[in-house]
Structure 1
Amino acid sequence: MTSIVIFGAGGRAGRAVTAEAHRRGHRVTGVVRDPARHPSLSADRVVQGDVQDAAAIADLVRGHDAAVNAVSPASGPEELAALGHLDEKWFVTADDALLTGLAAAGVPRLVLIGLFANLRAADGGLLLADPAVLPAEFRPFALAHTAGLEHLRAADTPVDWLMITPPAQLDAAAPRTGRYRTGGETATGSTLSYADLAVAALDEIENPRHHRTRISIFD
């Protein structure tokens, strides 16, 4: 049995990863902003935490085998539209805090949930640069996410991290199939269920195949 701490366990992706980890018999700690709002999470314990607080992260993750980061400052288009100004370093700060906290606690593996918009189109350009793919109001969020990815790539860290990037169309209602395909920097598929995103994350914790890189996944 593996012990996994999941940041953002109350969001769509985090809740799916938490359920999949529980399904596989792992010991799960769910980290959320307000535990009282998530009484039904399928975690062994649910705790309050801030993904941008390195010292607190070290205490939260100590004794675990792996961590998942599914935190986002907004969980959907409506929430993003209502967010207003987003600190362009939000994901950089979070990634740095996670790498620092996990290294201090001796937790070796970190799986992060990425964003489709910094994958590349067939012509080589970033999807986030195409307003037909990503409306202009969401571009600052995509750029902040991309800055976080680049920060990970440049980090000198003992933590074996992996960013898993799903396609644009993630379906919360679609069933778990247990199947998915993997790709590189170019967007290939367009759909995936949250449940199968969670399958990919747990597969990479149980049997790591990709290291210190970003992969795309799709159905």
Structure 2
Amino acid sequence: AETMPPKLIAHTGMDAMTHAIEAYVSTLHCNYTDAVALHAIKMIHQYLKKSYDGCMEARAAMHDAQCLAGMAFSNALLGIVHSMAHKTGAAYSTSHIIHGCANAMYLPKVIKFNAKDEAAAKRYAEIAEHIGLAGNSTEELVDSLIAELRSMNDKLNIPQSIQNYGAGGVKAETSIIDETEFLDKLPEVAANAITDACTGSNPRIPSQEEMEQLLKACYYDLAVDF
């Protein structure tokens, strides 16, 4: 871990954050997975940026956090952030979308989508409270969590959307994922994401139309209000 390049630290760290958050809201969560998921989220929130900046103590802490997140999702399973990351990863001819970077870009959009489910919204709000975010209602806490994750992406030089996805997963003015190809393949990629193994434990199962809308929101950084 001492010699890991910062970009890899950013992508693997946000992958672990996605593991823990998806495990916490998974339909298969339990007392055992909740405990390790929440603690992993708290540790990643505290240590990822410091690890990215080169602090070796933070890198050691991130080892533990990533293992805890792994313990959570290997028992509670994941959700559609991973379904989308799996199926967009190698779908395009111009470049691969790096897995951890894909998760970081898609997670805020999926949280907003899943928060239409009352039980999921409550659990996202619990995560926000656990890491000390502000909000006077469930909706405000969910939005605080989304804003904090986007802020983490910014600090880690991770793009917020596919339209700003540059070579190696760093922010760029022009995406290396061709827009025309993305739109051409949208129905097929959406259908594949819905049938991904991770979809079944997501708190809200999207229709074909909703999955296409979600993927477009991830390409263009659109608001998710459906």
Q: TM bucket by the smaller chain?
A: 0.3 to 0.5
Q: Identify, as 1 or 2, the structure richer in strand.
A: 1
Between 1 and 2, higher relative CO (CA 8 Å, sep ≥ 6) is seen in 2
Q: TM-score under structure 1 normalisation? A: 0.33
Q: Identify, as 1 or 2, the structure richer in helix.
A: 2
